[in-house]
Structure 1
Amino acid sequence: MKKYTLRAFSLLLIVLSMYSCSLDEYNPTEVTGDETLATFDGWKGMQTYCYSPLYDQMFSASDYLAVAEAGTDIWLTSKNATNTQQLFYYEGLTTSTNATNKLFKQAYSIINTCNAIINRAGNVADGNADDVTVLTAETHCLRAFYYLVLVTNYGNVTLSLDESTTNAVLNPKRNSVEEIYAQIVSDLTYAAEHLKTTPYENNSARVTKKTALGLLARAYAQGAGEGLKENG
């Protein structure tokens, strides 16, 4: 009887000792987005995402082609089909039409990411300063490109340069075409000044000084077509 009592008592001590132990574990899910973007790796990872529309749906699907080219006289619908008459003949065309709506949302979604990268660049705690400068310049170039897509196809849209918060803007205000082109020129000028002719990390998929200058020339040409002049 004493033998069984001793075993039971020993087992009880073991159980109690297990409950008294504490283990400090790192939970990666508790890391906030702000903390991630304060590190160079996290910030750079999101910066790379700013390129995603260029190899994803914006150009790999027919939506951009439909918006940019379908309304010209070089395109006709097959057998006079009516399912694409909004884009091919501008009959009933609205911003809620699938292709136009998709392109619009894609551009604004990634512009918000660009805004976050640009505005948070100064908060990156680690990483090489030159790398941060180059990647920030890349993002200025990309933001300018996406706004060039918007102003070319949608006219005077809303110009947003701040990262969106949880408070949605339910009544956005349109900016003038002049204001939008001025920001595009500003972004591309900054990019051209800080980018090199060779791509970052020799990655040919990244934008360079040549990219920024080429887009800047396009912006000036299109702006002139709108009757705009630099500095008024």
Structure 2
Amino acid sequence: MKRLLLLLMLLQAITSCNKLLDKKPTDFVDPAGFYNSEEELNMALAAVYDPLGNEYMYGSSLWFQFGICTDEAFYAFSANAYSAPMFYQYDYTNPYVGGIWQQCYIGIERANMLIENINKPSMDETKRQAILGEALFLRAYYHFILVSNYGDVPLKLKSSDNVNSISIPRTPAKQVYEQIVTDMKEAEGKVNTITSIGNSSHVSKTAVRGILARVYLYMAGAPMNDQSKYADALYWAQQVDAGNEHELLTTYNATITNSAYSQIFINQCRDIYDIKECIWEVDFYAKDADPTYAEMGKVGTMNLGCTNIDTGRSSSNIKTTIKLYRLYGNGDLRRDWAIAPFSYSATANPLTRTYYTSTNIIGRDAGKWRRSYEPSNFVKLQFTNGTNFPLLRYADVLLMQAEAENEVNGPTATAYTAINKVRRRAYGLPVNVASTVADVPAGLTPAQFRQFIREERARELCFEGVRKGDLLRWGIFTNVMNEMVAEINASNASFTNKSRWITGYATAASSGRYQLLPVPALELNVNKGMTQNPGW
């Protein structure tokens, strides 16, 4: 199931230095001597995927350092070099600001090299095209991360031929997005179906379609505000259903949990692929006793606090907001899974759970990925684990369908059907049967339906790294930051906690510059054609 990691390990082995005094470094793969077989193309493809799991990407940064301090959650402790992004206490020298940029361009460079050498080996043409499709998509996806975080960025469609003299100007965001769409559309016709792949780690046709829907929603929203793109988003979200490969998970193991929603994340903790619900994931690996051959992220190690490493140590770093807690209605089974209703109060094994009182709402731990469900053969380390990170779930696709349909045609039956499936599952009800308890109220105006979708995305997708992007594309980021300052100040938290917890929100609301990251210092130093973002 972790074939991508195994291919990367093999690639590292064959490119390592054999002699300490070799004058020509052999830890660099010379294109002239590589890409000569199907196996080498697959190893090169694994290297294109690799940056996704880096600490500065989905290993942590994109959903933790730059993913919280929204109306879902905040960081509870003090600011330092590691946590500065969560308080908006960073500048262009911050390693996390530079890390996203660097890892994306590493992925783009590797993708370009693979694309340029795709025709070298003699091999099955269908397999060649599938590899090419994945490389094209990943090149586009790395550009998508860049343009949505930094704005205008260099559009790079060829591998570098001179690293000693670099002068690559920024490409307007509109042009970058257009190339992203072009690459992804070409990729969609080449990659395999998720059914034939059998896992969520490789990019499949439905993954491409779902991410295309997300890209078009970004183009429709701020800062581009090209509302004609809602129709494209609707088309691609609906295309996810074309192959009948996906559906919401509706079953669960009643001996360990009480909802299908929680079962999604238990499966991820247990390294179980569910290709019907989970369309695309970043792969991590923590099996076996030797952590040397593991590639881990931090999903689960930052929520539900636990000091017992046998259960699964977690740092209690993601604290949930009052707003998120109150968004859930009575009977919504997602609330007490996404937001842990208890804390661990001792280090003994088994641990003792202390449940919160009804008045103790602010600052509860996020509880979506619980390390107690990790298999016993997983390496149990303090700060990392092997749980995959979800990049696209089918529930997200349904909510994108509902959002785009509402923007194009209003709150039609199609829009209601899509969102109501998600809500019925949340209440433990059959997803195709109408419910007076779970269903969105009938007769909403487009504006009311839009607001309901915005709240539903928080309820369903909290802590999955999409909320900040949603707030920005909806054009409500600054208003929400101000609302969170007011919420914390009105809460029953201590004066000390209030002062610390509002820091990030108040800073983010203080200037429009925080809606984009600054161009990293290293890029400004080496790229003579680069300019800085406004305000930085």
TM-score for the superposition, normalised by structure 2: 0.34
- Report the CA distance between 1:49 and its aligned residue: 1.3
Report the structure, 1 or 2, having the larger strand content.
2
Query: Which position in structure 2 is the counterpart of 1:106?
Result: 103
Q: Supply the AA of the counterpart residue of 1:177.
A: A
Aligned letter for 1:87?
Answer: P
Q: Number of aligned residue pairs: give it.
A: 198
1:54-90 deviation digits (Å, cap 9, x = unpaired):
3343222x32234532453555454554556752343
Structure 1 residues 65 and 35: alpha-carbon distance in aligned structure 2, compared to 1, 3 A threshold: same
Higher relative contact order, structure no. (Cα contacts within 8 Å, ≥ 6 residues apart) = 2
The structure with the largest alpha-carbon Rg is: 1
Structure 1 counterpart of 2:98, which letter?
N
Deviation at 1:204, TM superposition (A): 3.7
* 1:94-173 correspondence to structure 2 within 5 Å: 94-122=91-119, 124-173=120-169
Could you tell me how far apart the structure 2 residues matched to 1:137 and 1:193 are?
A: 8
Distance across 2 between alignment mates of 1:173 and 1:101: 17
Counterpart of 1:110, as a letter, is: G
The alignment status of 1:192 with 2:188, answered yes or no, reads: yes
Q: What is the rounded CA distance, in whole Å, between the counterparts of 1:86 and 1:198 in structure 2? A: 38
Residues 173-205 of structure 1 deviation map (CA, whole Å, 9 limit, x = unaligned): 000000110011001101112223236654542
CA RMSD, 1 decimal:
2.5
* Equivalent of 1:180 in 154, 176, 179: 176
Letter in 1 for 2:135: T
1:18 is matched with none
Residue identity in the other structure for 1:44: N
1:24-63 deviation per Cα after TM superposition (whole angstroms, max 9, x unaligned): xxxxx7x953121233322221112111123343222x32
Match of 1:88 in 2: 86
Q: Which amino acid aligns with 1:153?
A: N
* Whole-angstrom CA distance in 2 between matches of 1:190 and 1:222: 20
Counterpart CA distance in 2 for 1:204 and 1:64 is: 19
Residue identity matched to 2:104: A
Which residue of 2 is the match for residue 214 of structure 1?
210
In the alignment, the residues of structure 1 paired with residue 69 and residue 200 of structure 2 have an alpha-carbon distance, to the nearest angstrom, of 33
Mapped partners of 1:136, 1:111: distance in 2: 13
Tell me, what secondary structure is at the counterpart of 1:191?
Answer: helix
- Structure having the higher helix fraction is 1
Percent identical: 25
| Matching of residue 59 in structure 1 with residue 58 in structure 2 | yes
CA contact (8 A) 2:189 2:205 kept: yes
**Secondary structure at 1:50 match in 2:** helix
Aligned residue number for residue 354 of structure 2: none
Unpaired runs of 5+ residues, structure 2, are 1-25, 230-536
Give 1:206 deviation, angstroms. Answer: 0.7
Say if 2:69 and 2:75, in contact at 8 Å, map to a contact too.
Answer: no
Change (3 A) 1:95 1:67: farther
CA distance in 2, matches of 1:51, 1:105: 14
Give CA deviations for 1:104-156 in whole Å, capped at 9, x if unaligned.
1111111100011112212x231111111011001111111111111111111
